[in-house]
Structure 1
Amino acid sequence: MKVQIIALKGQIRDALEAQLAIRGHYVAAPGNEISATPPANGWQISEDVDIVVNALTLECLQHRPDEAYLDSMVSLARACEGAHVPMIQLSTGQVFDGGSSRRFKETDMVVPASQIGAMLSRMEELLRGSCSHHIILRIGPLFSSADGNLLTELMTQFRQGDPISLSSLDNSCPMHTKDLARVISAMIDQLSCGCESWGTYHYCSSDPASSHQFAETALAVVSQYAESGPRPLMLEPSDERNTDWSRPILSSEKILNTFGIKQLPWRAFVVPTIKKIFDNNAASLSEETS
């Protein structure tokens, strides 16, 4: 099955390309960089493409909420509709207000409590009206060894050596990009076998955690690889709410019942990810000194 990935160069695209190659799916390579805006002649879907995975709109909206990104997504969705190619669109649980500790289901009413949540809700609505064969996959916050995500930013704080105070109140279900790629690949496997379970699905890791708990787990692993500094790093819990971390917790029952995809714990990915970060840093340092 040939998959066209629409995404910025970085953690989501890298993880998807690697996983789909393992599963024997051919990835349509659009080049080293993908622009946040459609090409001058609009999005073009190759005749041999079987499915499109779009992470670009989500990535761009998370950096800067802008209606132009929604227009671009509609253009892509209509191109898929015209080519009779299904589309997988990434979204997040931010379409819910998160005012409850329960896990939100796909059938729950969308009530965004932020600008990004409202934009994502609008994106989903526009997709439903533009491409009949689609899957909207709502996910949690992502981490990986790539730059600019919640784990690598946390490790930057560790290296600075200053005391860190993080909230112990608000929970989220962080997930590794490899886990996301596993989920999307499994869905594509079954779609390629004739499954036509279109619609909206949720997936997040199995164990909610506060930002303090996530940092505590990461620090325990970092201490095994990093040399001790002149003073131990102080990581303290805080009673202040962390609105950047807090995300509505999603129920993953529907994706389990429909595609047989089980949740994995985010903690299982922390050790290999931090090891890879240290290995990459050591390799870069070796290149600089050689």
Structure 2
Amino acid sequence: MKDMLVFGQTGQVARELAHHAGMRCLSRTEADLAEPAACAAAIRAHAPRAVINAAAYTAVDKAESEEALAHRINAEAPGAMARACADLDIPFIQLSTDYVFDGAGTAPRAPAEPTGPLNAYGRTKLAGERAVLAAGGPHAVLRTSWVVSAYGSNFVKTMLRLGKSRDRITVVADQIGGPTPARDIAAACIKIAETLIAEPANSGIYHFAGSPDTSWAGFARETFAQAGIACEVVDIPTSDYPTPAARPLNSRLDCSLLEPVFGLSRPDWRQGLRDILHDLGEI
């Protein structure tokens, strides 16, 4: 595992890769994704057995006014990385998102289904996927959703802060998806990379999200229940919580391809949540 190279150092998945797998994670000063050529040069300099890109422009609302920067980081940089990996004939793992879909319907989306992002972030991530596929080397685009961990800013930590200071909060209940612990994503990335080193023909787009699917409101209730916080969660529709970037209502992902190819099943996010709360000293 230590002969794999990770882009990103402060993000949730990168921190799990560094902390639990001891992987080499490049900081922004070592490889700035706003400089795609520098990222490709870093890969050639390190000559790893595989590369995992766990870095991205993830400020969804801010991307509406910074789409050019988001595109450079989320599309141009992964494309440059993937081409460098293709030249070296090593696997490249690109993390992507459910936001490449339009959120219509209620059925889980399979990897091959048509995309249709609703916002700038989703458009730039989709462009990154296409750049990785176009590079032609061994690769996996791993779409995931609702990432949480004990690190950084995320939904669980926001709910803990609000739940401790209020008796009642309103939370969106008509967006449905699978919360996904970053620790499980990190482990999946390693397994996928190891498999592709031996079997590059398994390259492609895959989905990986926690189970069971729930709403943000349901996620909040489970967080409070496990942490022993007495805060009422009141369901509201997305229309009552407007944001600069539109969010998909249906973030369900069909993850069935992972089992036969990589031996990976959907993680139970409720167990992952317990681990996160334990790490945070909440339980």
Percentage of matched positions with identical amino acids: 19
Q: Work out the CA distance in 1 between the residues paired with 2:215 and 2:125.
A: 24
Distance change (3 Å), C-alpha of 1:3 and 1:266: same
- How far 1:48 sits from its partner (Å)? 4.0
The match for 1:255 is: 258
Structure whose CA Rg is larger: 1
Q: Aligned letter for 1:272?
A: D
Q: Aligned letter for 1:54?
A: N
Q: Does the Cα contact within 8 Å between 2:33 and 2:39 map onto a contact in 1?
A: no
Q: Does the Cα contact within 8 Å between 2:78 and 2:94 map onto a contact in 1?
A: no
Q: Which runs of 5+ in 1 are unaligned?
A: 22-26, 227-231, 281-290
The match for 2:6 is: 5
Among 35, 39, 51, the alignment partner of 1:38 is: 35
The match for 1:283 is: none
Between the two proteins, the alignment pairs up a number of residues equal to 268
Distance change (3 Å), C-alpha of 1:190 and 1:127: closer
Among 161, 166, 176, the alignment partner of 1:161 is: 166
Q: Work out the CA distance in 2 between the residues paired with 1:144 and 1:192.
A: 28
Q: Work out the CA distance in 2 between the residues paired with 1:260 and 1:43.
A: 30
The match for 1:24 is: none
Deviations 1:213-248 (A, max 9, x none): 11111111222xx6xxxxx53322224556658452
Q: Work out the CA distance in 1 between the residues paired with 2:61 and 2:33.
A: 12
Q: Does the Cα contact within 8 Å between 2:101 and 2:248 map onto a contact in 1?
A: no
- Cα root mean square deviation, aligned: 2.6
Secondary structure of 1:56's counterpart equals coil
The match for 1:55 is: 54
Distance change (3 Å), C-alpha of 1:275 and 1:40: same
Secondary structure of 2:231's counterpart equals coil
Name the stretch that deviates more: 206-215 or 233-242: 233-242
TM-score (norm 2): 0.84
Deviations 1:188-230 (A, max 9, x none): 232344453001111111211111111111111222xx6xxxx
Q: Which runs of 5+ in 2 are unaligned?
A: none
Q: Does the Cα contact within 8 Å between 2:178 and 2:213 map onto a contact in 1?
A: yes
Q: Does the Cα contact within 8 Å between 1:140 and 1:247 map onto a contact in 2?
A: no
Q: Work out the CA distance in 2 between the residues paired with 1:178 and 1:62.
A: 25
1:116 aligns with 2:121: yes
Q: Aligned letter for 1:133?
A: P
Q: Work out the CA distance in 2 between the residues paired with 1:83 and 1:62.
A: 36
Q: Work out the CA distance in 1 between the residues paired with 2:27 and 2:88.
A: 21
Distance change (3 Å), C-alpha of 1:239 and 1:10: closer
Secondary structure of 2:94's counterpart equals strand
The match for 2:276 is: 273
Distance change (3 Å), C-alpha of 1:158 and 1:137: same
Q: Does the Cα contact within 8 Å between 2:140 and 2:205 map onto a contact in 1?
A: yes
Deviations 1:256-281 (A, max 9, x none): 1211211121111122211221269x
Q: Aligned letter for 2:275?
A: P
Name the stretch that deviates more: 44-53 or 252-261: 44-53
Q: Aligned letter for 1:28?
A: R
Q: Aligned letter for 1:123?
A: G
The match for 1:135 is: 140
Among 232, 235, 238, the alignment partner of 2:236 is: 238
